Amino acid sequence: MIPLKFIRQNQETVRRGMQSKGVAENRLDELLDLDTKVRKKISLVENLKARRNQASQEIGQLKQAGKTAEREIAAMGDLSQQIKALDQEIHQLQEQIQQHLLWVPNLPHPLAPIGPDPSHNRVLRTVGEAVQPAFEARDHLDLLTLLGLVDFEAGARIAGRGFPLYTDRGALLERALINFMLDLHTRERGYTEIYPPFMATRQTTLMTGQLPKLEDDMYITDSDDMFLIPTAEVPLTGIHQDQILLENNLPRKYVAFSACFRREAGSYGKETRGLLRIHQFNKVELVKLVHPAASYDELETLRDDAEEVLRRLSLVYRVVELCTGDLSFAATKCYDLEVYAPVADQWLEVSSCSNFEAFQARRGNIRFRRKDTGKLDHVHTLNGSGVATPRLLAALLETCQQPDGSVTLPEALVPYYGEEELILP
């Protein structure tokens, strides 16, 4: 949420920000128009209310003194009706304003690369060397099948396309990956582990910015208006909704494993092979609530925490800074981590690390008390995947495969999986 006052006073800045994110601006004009209208009415009704308050007080004094106030009371009836009517109009206008406000995206950081689409993203660095195997290698789907790790047909029978069913060693390997990542972030990186609800209310989903824009991309329950979480970002950021934190308790760092549910409406046919784009997947998510002055430093360490997963697994990856047009609705700045899948010769996004500044905190009313001034202020929120499993698994299998199709696991994973390699069944 961008504060209405800021929008009013910085119209051109907001307009440029919306343009660079590729968001239609017609709502902005309507918004400003409604704002002017409603403020006129507000000042009108506030004057009336001031009169009413004064008169009511006088009536109270008369009654207290044991006198009658019939004449005064009779004079008030009309005023009250006017106020009621105006209040209703104002209420309606403000509801409209609120709706428009929810569609104003966060503004990109001034130094974010400007551009309309991913081709303008900036590759900051590549870790490791992107080389293809010397032998005739299999891609991740062939390896999954060969090793018997995932049964796509069974998943489809149960829930339809895009719901993989991990079997036996595949299930174990998935669990090993999740445990490895959780332990890394909790034991070495100072995150507090959370096991959150996998559903969230409309309000919570609105807070993180998934709504209203991405409603079509989410699974929703008709009878309760609940949303299956598309990422644990939603519940984790929601933990402190409507709360006031102590400055001493910042930053708060949370990590959670969750299943993530995405309808992926409109992306059929893109990257659909194997595990690359599915409706339900597992992810370990990092969320931080931080002091505003620290949020950009915290973004760097968050990114590093996510990168550490890939480093420990000895995978080749690159760090990409997103351009304005590719930034999500709520983000000001974002790094994607893309892991290299050598057989597909593709860079697969496994993590997005974003700073939302106060955008989500304003929507969720998450504040802290400043030590220096004693005043309240909104925290800054950040999140990043640390990381999502399906593409990680795809890259891992392709990278670590041997000529016969067996896979030698990275050392870091061995204690979790219990064996050093996946041999052919």
Distance, in Å, from the CA atom of 91 to the CA atom of 421, rounded to the nearest integer, reads 64
Minimum gap (Å) between residue 50 Cβ and RNA:
3
Q: For residues 84 and 311, which CB has a smaller minimum distance to RNA in the complex?
A: 84
Minimum gap (Å) between residue 285 Cβ and RNA:
23
DSSP states of 29-88: HHHHHHHHHHHHHHHHHHHHHHHHHHHHHHHHHHHHTT---HHHHHHHHHHHHHHHHHHH
Q: Tell me, yes or no, if 349 is annotated catalytic.
A: yes
Q: For residues 201 and 301, which CB has a smaller minimum distance to RNA in the complex?
A: 201
Q: Tell me, yes or no, if 30 is annotated catalytic.
A: no
Q: Tell me, yes or no, if 27 is annotated catalytic.
A: no
Among 138, 262, 318, 367, the one annotated catalytic: 262
Phi, psi for 377 (deg, rounded to 5):
-150, 160
Distance, in Å, from the CA atom of 185 to the CA atom of 255, rounded to the nearest integer, reads 7
Distance, in Å, from the CA atom of 370 to the CA atom of 373, rounded to the nearest integer, reads 6
Q: Tell me, yes or no, if 398 is annotated catalytic.
A: no
Minimum gap (Å) between residue 107 Cβ and RNA:
18
Alpha helices in 226-270 (DSSP H): 233-238
Distance, in Å, from the CA atom of 146 to the CA atom of 274, rounded to the nearest integer, reads 13
Q: For residues 49 and 312, which CB has a smaller minimum distance to RNA in the complex?
A: 49
Q: Tell me, yes or no, if 39 is annotated catalytic.
A: no
Q: Do residues 330 and 360 make contact, with C-beta atoms less than 8 angstroms apart? A: yes
Minimum gap (Å) between residue 35 Cβ and RNA:
8
Q: With CA atoms as reference, report the closest residue to 335 among 375, 384, 381.
A: 384
Q: For residues 26 and 248, which CB has a smaller minimum distance to RNA in the complex?
A: 248
Q: Which residues contact 421 (CB under 8 A, 6 or more apart)?
A: 406, 407, 408, 409
Among 138, 189, 252, 277, the one annotated catalytic: 277
Binding site for RNA (CB under 7 A): 3-5, 8, 39, 42-43, 46-47, 49-50, 52-57, 59-61, 63-64, 73, 76-77, 79-80, 91, 244, 369, 371, 374-376
Minimum gap (Å) between residue 245 Cβ and RNA:
9
Q: For residues 46 and 300, which CB has a smaller minimum distance to RNA in the complex?
A: 46
Among 349, 362, 369, 406, the one annotated catalytic: 349
Give 220-228's long-range contacts (Cβ < 8 A, gap of 24+).
225/201, 226/199, 226/200, 226/201, 226/202, 227/199, 227/200, 227/201, 227/202, 228/198, 228/199, 228/261
Output the six-digit token pair for 269.
């046919």
Among 351, 352, 354, 385, the one annotated catalytic: 352
Minimum gap (Å) between residue 91 Cβ and RNA:
6
Q: With CA atoms as reference, report the closest residue to 311 among 220, 410, 384.
A: 410
Q: For residues 90 and 319, which CB has a smaller minimum distance to RNA in the complex?
A: 90
Residues annotated as part of the active site? 262, 277, 349, 352, 391
